[in-house]
Chains A and B, each alone.
Chain A
Amino acid sequence: MIPRVSAIALLAVRAAIRSRMVLTLAALLLLALAGLPGWMRGDGTAQGLFTLLVGHTLGVCLFLLAATSLWAGCAAVAAERSAGTATLTVVKPVRPFELWFGKWLGIMALNVVLLGAVVVGLLLQILLRAPELPGDWQRCDRVVPCILPDPAQEADQALRTLRAEGRLPANRPVTTLRAELIQEVRNRYTLIQPGETQTWRFRLPPCADGIAPTVRAVFETQYGLREESAMTLCAQAVQPSHSEAAFTIHETLMAGEPLVRALPPFTSASGGLIEVAFQLDPGARTPLLLHPGRNLALLLPDGSFGRNLVYAALILLAVLSALTACGLALGCCFSFPVASFAAVVLILLALLGSRATADATDLAEARGLGERFGLQIVRCAGSVTRPLVSAAPITQLTRREAIPLRSLGQPLWIGFLALPALLAWGSARVLKRRENGA
Chain B
Amino acid sequence: MTPVIETTGLRKIFRDFWRRPTVCAVDSLNLTIQPGEVFGLLGPNGSGKSTTIKMLLGLLHPTAGTVSVLGRPPADIVIKHRIGYLPENTHLHRFLTPRETLHYYGALFGLDRRTCRERGEALLEMADLTEVADRPIDGFSKGMARRVGIAQALINAPDLLILDEPTSGLDPVACREVKDLVRALANDGMTVLMTSHLLADVEHVCDRVAIMHRGLVQAEGAVDDLLVRADTTRFLIANLSDAEAEPLRAELAARLNRVVATDHPTVSLETYFLDVVARASGKASALTHFRPAPFLHKTGIGGAATESAKRESA
Contact = CB atoms under 8 A, between A and B. Distances in A.
Contact of B91 (A3, A15, A87): A87
A97 to B, nearest CB: 11
Contacts of A84: 87, 89, 91
A435 B105 CA distance: 21
Contacts of A6: 107
A218 B92 CA distance: 61
B197 interface: no
B108 A94 contact: yes
B93 A11 contact: yes
Interface in A74-130: 83-85, 87-95
A390 interface: no
Given A3-B107, A4-B107, A14-B96, A88 B60 contact: no
A432 to B, nearest CB: 8
B59 A435 contact: yes
Given A93-B80, A93-B110, A85 B91 contact: yes
Interface residues of A, number: 26
B254 to A, nearest CB: 63
Contacts of A85: 91-93
A387 interface: no
A436 B59 contact: yes
Contact of A91 (B57, B89, B104): B57
Given A15-B95, A91-B59, A436 B107 contact: no
Contacts of B105: 88, 92
A15 B95 CA distance: 7
A91 B60 contact: no
Contacts of B289: none
Contacts of B100: 14
A437 interface: yes
Interface in B94-144: 95-96, 100, 103-105, 107-112, 136
Interface in A1-36: 3-4, 6-8, 10-11, 14-15, 18-19
B243 interface: no
Q: From A3, A4, A85, A89, name the one whose CB has the most chain B CB atoms within 10 angstroms.
A: A3
B61 A435 contact: yes
A19 B81 CA distance: 31
A87 B87 contact: yes
Most chain B CB within 10 A, of A7, A87, A92, A435, is at: A92
Contacts of B104: 7, 10-11
B95 A92 contact: no
A88 B92 contact: yes
A3 B54 CA distance: 26
Contact of A88 (B81, B91, B107): B91
Nearest to A15: B95
Given A11-B96, A93-B81, 13 more contacts: A3-B110, A3-B112, A8-B108, A14-B100, A15-B93, A19-B95, A88-B91, A90-B59, A91-B59, A92-B109, A93-B77, A435-B59, A435-B61
25 contacts: A4-B107, A4-B108, A4-B110, A6-B107, A7-B107, A8-B108, A10-B104, A11-B96, A11-B104, A14-B96, A85-B93, A87-B59, A87-B87, A87-B91, A90-B59, A91-B57, A91-B58, A91-B83, A92-B105, A92-B109, A93-B78, A93-B108, A93-B110, A95-B77, A435-B61
Interface of A: 3-4, 6-8, 10-11, 14-15, 18-19, 83-85, 87-95, 435-437
